[in-house]
Amino acid sequence: MKKRIIVASENPVKINATKQGFQRLYPEYELEVQGVSVPSDVSAQPMTDGETLHGAVNRACNAEREMPDADYWVGIEGGIHHTMEGYIAFAWVVIQTKAGDGKARTGTFLLPPKVTQLIDKGVELGHANDQVFAEHNSKQAGGAVGSLTGGVLGRTEYYEQAVVLALVPLFNSEMYKLKM
């Protein structure tokens, strides 16, 4: 069975995470996964959990408007949130279909002080990470999670699990009363 999936980004990390997540739950599908550049309609660096989720929802909706003939539309938005411990980083994944949607958030991790100092000056996490770790365009590679784990966990794998979890209601459509 062929399924067309539109990822609301041209970032290869988000496209690959989506493809791998779908392949894990739906190995029988022939997947056509395509990225499309659409706005999140939130800040370039979402600074709260709510803003980050809103960005992922907006991306999925904007992808559907841009390419309405797909089976799934996927919005992935990375964000940070200030806590008593400092800034934590995470991402929201939203997967939409005509029958319903699924949402999941990645795990969180604490950002180091050197990175948070740059964020406080208005620098986006990806650029702050590049400066602190002397990397280039890390958000299209391992990201901050990759830099901080010495490459043990890259951004693709980090997002892939959340893609699988966002698919839970769709994979279990009868339990969630969705007509897939």
Could you tell me which residues are annotated as the binding site? 69-70
Q: What count of residues does the chain have?
A: 180
Positive or negative: CA dihedral 35, 62, 52, 164: negative
Buried b (16+ CB within 10 A) or exposed e, 21-30: bbbeeeeeee
Helix, strand, or coil here: 159? helix
CA–CA gap between residue 104 and residue 121 (Å, rounded): 29
Which amino acids are annotated as binding site for substrate, given as ranges? Answer: 69-70
Angle between helices 12-25 and 155-166 (to 10 degrees): 50
Token pair belonging to 16: 């690959």
Which amino acids are annotated as binding site for Mg(2+), given as ranges? Answer: 69
